[in-house]
Amino acid sequence: MDRPDHKITIGRDAARDIPLGDDSVSAHHAELSVLEDGRLLLTDCRSTNGTFVIEADGSARRIHQAVVAPADRVRFGAVTLAVSALLEARGLGAAPRTPQKPPAPPLSGRRLVRCQCGCIKHEGARCQECGQ
């Protein structure tokens, strides 16, 4: 396996690179690695509620480790995000040499927003991290 060039940590803990303020997300839920060749490797870190790749038909496939693309949607516990949103949140944009698929529609009408503390939460919901 290639050595990761960039590694993004994802979880409920505010110390993660991408903190997700949702009780269904483990403190250190997953990692997204940008490999030297530009591929993106998503790894579940023994999370309680699992890491999933959302298939084209809308079904969720639980993974331990999978190569993903920026246009793919992934789920951490009950929180679904586009891989491109994770990259953009860390200032990486789309990974090089990875073909783009058209974005898929959101799974639900609840929009995700970034809280003032930096966590991602459902719009209108109280932040699990700071309480706002």
Residue 95 has pLDDT above 50, yes or no: no
Query: Of 97 and 125, which is predicted with more confidence?
Result: 125
**Segment 6-20, tens digit of pLDDT:** 899 999 999 999 999
CA angle 18/116/19 to nearest 5° reads: 15
| Cα distances (Å, whole numbers) of residue 17 to 10, 23, 55, 127 | 6, 17, 25, 17
Collapse the DSSP code of 62 into the 3-class scheme (helix H, G, I; strand E, B; otherwise coil) and give the result: strand
Rounded to two decimals, the pTM is 0.69
Collapse the DSSP code of 17 into the 3-class scheme (helix H, G, I; strand E, B; otherwise coil) and give the result: coil
Residue 125 has pLDDT above 90, yes or no: no
Percent of the chain at pLDDT above 70?
83
pLDDT band at 100 (very low <50, low <70, confident <90, very high): low
Domain boundaries, the chain: 6-91
**Segment 34-74, tens digit of pLDDT:** 898 889 999 999 999 999 999 999 999 999 999 999 999 99
Look at residues 76, 96, 103 and name the one whose alpha carbon lies nearest to residue 34: 96
**CATH architecture designation of domain 6-91:** Sandwich (2.60)
Phi-psi region of 90 (alpha: psi -120 to 50; beta: other; left: phi over 0): alpha
Structural contact between residues 53 and 66, judged by C-beta atoms closer than 8 angstroms: yes
Give residue 57's identity as a one-letter amino acid code. D
